Chain A
Amino acid sequence: MTDAPFIEIEDLYFSRGDHEIFRGINMTIPRGKVTAIMGPSGTGKTTLLKLIGGQLTPERGRIVIDGQDVHRLSRKALFTLRKRMGMLFQSGALFSDLDVFENVAFPLRVHTDLPDTMVRDLVLLKLQAVGLRGARHLTPAELSGGMARRVALARAVALDPELILYDEPFVGQDPISMGVLVQLIKRLNQALQLTSVVVSHDIKETLSIADYLYLIADGQVVAHGTPQTLDTNQDPRVSQFIHGEPDGPVPFHYPAEAFYRDILGEPPMTKTG
């Protein structure tokens, strides 16, 4: 039973307006491993996390988390399922009216009846794990981007979830906090036996922590495998992304009319004779 995958995504379709974002995605996310979902910006990686969290509803297909079909649950059952998940948002999404301590204490206060002294100990343990025990009295406005993300990580693991979803954890971080975050994600995963899903386009960092990778582009999974197999994959779309080539099958230019015509108007008449 413990070998069964934690999340199964079957034939998922989703679009916003006329723009098709996913066209039949299939994924299996193993239990207790770090699975990375990569792809160029704008391919809907964050949307996929929101679909997994049940905040968006797909047009077709289903997402099953630990045996439960996310989009067939009642509102109450969905909120119960979410207690078993943590999500790290790109912006941190800390509550601006609470300080660091209360932000981390929030899930404990709303979901448990623990006495204050125990909440305090748990919060300090989580803050210690992300190295910010000394910052407990600061407000979110006083934190740097990297610190905010670490506080958000402490909050995401406050209830010891079984699944944690990371939305672009490395974007806009300086090399030091990037290293800290990479280490934290790895360590948390090993120490707490978590199932982690990392959505990212930072190749080096992601390859260093992921056990398994999915690469999505054009609304479909274009490749999947372990970091080693993807590194040697010959598919031009995969190698363009993994090796960071500016132009290739994934075009640099947004679709537009011909450059010459756009700048100079009508093409020149060719005179004969």
Chain B
Amino acid sequence: MQSKFSNGTARITRLGRRGCDLMEALGRAGVFLFQSAVGVPSREGWRLWLHQMHFVGVLSLAIVLVSGLFIGMVLALQGYTILVDFGAEQALGQMVALSLLRELAPVVAALLFAGRAGSALTAEIGLMKATEQLTSMEMIGVDPLRRVVAPRLWAGFVSLPILTVGFSVVGIWGGYLVGVEWLGVFEGSYWSNMQANVAFVSDIGNGMIKSAVFALVVTWIAVFQGYDLVPTSEGISRATTRTVVYSSLAVLGLDFVLTAVMFGGL
């Protein structure tokens, strides 16, 4: 009886401690975000930011665009087989565009970004920490939050929405290739239905807001995991995994919340 009771308290203690640890980590991550993101960048800061834009943005272009093309093509193919049963294949353009702009482009681009750029950011910053580069930077009198973290954070925040636009554009073009060129949907209705039914603010605008939120969350998780990891090879591999897992879950969870607010009439 006694041991059952103490087992129970031990479990509650453990749960409480885990909760405290979680809260502490969240607090640390918040302070970290504030310290690195706030402040006016110097001229050198702009140069570092541009360099990171190339690294996280331009180099992610290929995977994002190719995925966008295939997703647009699959959407058109699947959509056509359903719509044609109702004789509504003319609405294919609108279906492809709305699915991409509202959901698929922001979400899939963010997931790909987490895998391609997020994991690389974590591993890079983590390795800098493990090889004492961050410590030596501090000892030289340079704040690594401003020098290493801030350019990466801002580059991720800016580049993902741009990548999302690219994803949508290529996806719509992929849908056109399959729908119009291959399956024979009338070209005029593919484009005009799209034009008539896609609203700039509620569809494109909301999609971009989603993308900006995902960009912040994914990049934040990636740089924080890199900065906060245990500086060993095992620590780096765990942190890289955590970046991809946490980012993916955060993107999918936030997508539901944002969709409910934007389109669910909440």
Chain A residues in the interface with B (C-beta under 8 A): 50, 53, 55, 75, 79-80, 82-83, 85-87, 89-91, 93-96, 106-107, 109-111, 152, 155
* Least Cβ–Cβ distance between B105 and chain A, in angstroms: 32
- Chain B 120-144, CB-CB to A under 8 Å as 1, else 0, gives 0000000110011101111111110
CA distance in complex: A190, B120 (Å): 45
Within 8 A of A (CB), among B103-160: 127-128, 131-133, 135-143
Instruction: Report whether B139 and A82 are in contact in the complex, using a CB–CB cutoff of 8 Å.
Output: yes
Cβ-defined partner of B140 (8 Å) among A50, A55, A110: A110
A-B residue pairs, 4 tightest by C-beta: A93-B136, A93-B132, A82-B141, A83-B141
Cβ-defined partner of A111 (8 Å) among B127, B135, B141, B143: B141
CA distance in complex: A87, B142 (Å): 13
Chain B residues in the interface with A (C-beta under 8 A): 44, 127-128, 131-133, 135-143
Instruction: Report whether B139 and A53 are in contact in the complex, using a CB–CB cutoff of 8 Å.
Output: yes
CA distance in complex: A85, B132 (Å): 17
Can you list 21 contacts pairing A with B, beta carbon distance less than 8 Å?
A: A55-B135, A55-B138, A75-B143, A79-B138, A79-B143, A80-B141, A86-B139, A87-B136, A89-B132, A91-B131, A91-B132, A94-B133, A95-B133, A95-B136, A96-B131, A106-B140, A107-B140, A109-B44, A110-B140, A152-B136, A155-B140
Residues on B with beta carbons closer than 8 Å to the beta carbon of A107: 140-141
Residues on B with beta carbons closer than 8 Å to the beta carbon of A55: 135, 138-139
CA distance in complex: A56, B128 (Å): 19
Residues on B with beta carbons closer than 8 Å to the beta carbon of A80: 141
CA distance in complex: A94, B136 (Å): 8
Most chain-A Cβ atoms within 10 A of its Cβ — which of B133, B137, B139? B139
Select from chain B the residue with minimum beta-carbon distance to A80. Answer: B141
Cβ-defined partner of B136 (8 Å) among A89, A109, A110, A111: A89
Residues on B with beta carbons closer than 8 Å to the beta carbon of A106: 140, 142
CA distance in complex: A90, B141 (Å): 19
Residues on B with beta carbons closer than 8 Å to the beta carbon of A93: 131-133, 135-136
CA distance in complex: A94, B132 (Å): 8
Most chain-A Cβ atoms within 10 A of its Cβ — which of B127, B136, B137? B136
Residues on B with beta carbons closer than 8 Å to the beta carbon of A152: 136
Instruction: Report whether B139 and A85 are in contact in the complex, using a CB–CB cutoff of 8 Å.
Output: yes
CA distance in complex: A159, B137 (Å): 14
CA distance in complex: A250, B157 (Å): 54
Instruction: Report whether B139 and A87 are in contact in the complex, using a CB–CB cutoff of 8 Å.
Output: yes
Instruction: Report whether B141 and A96 are in contact in the complex, using a CB–CB cutoff of 8 Å.
Output: no
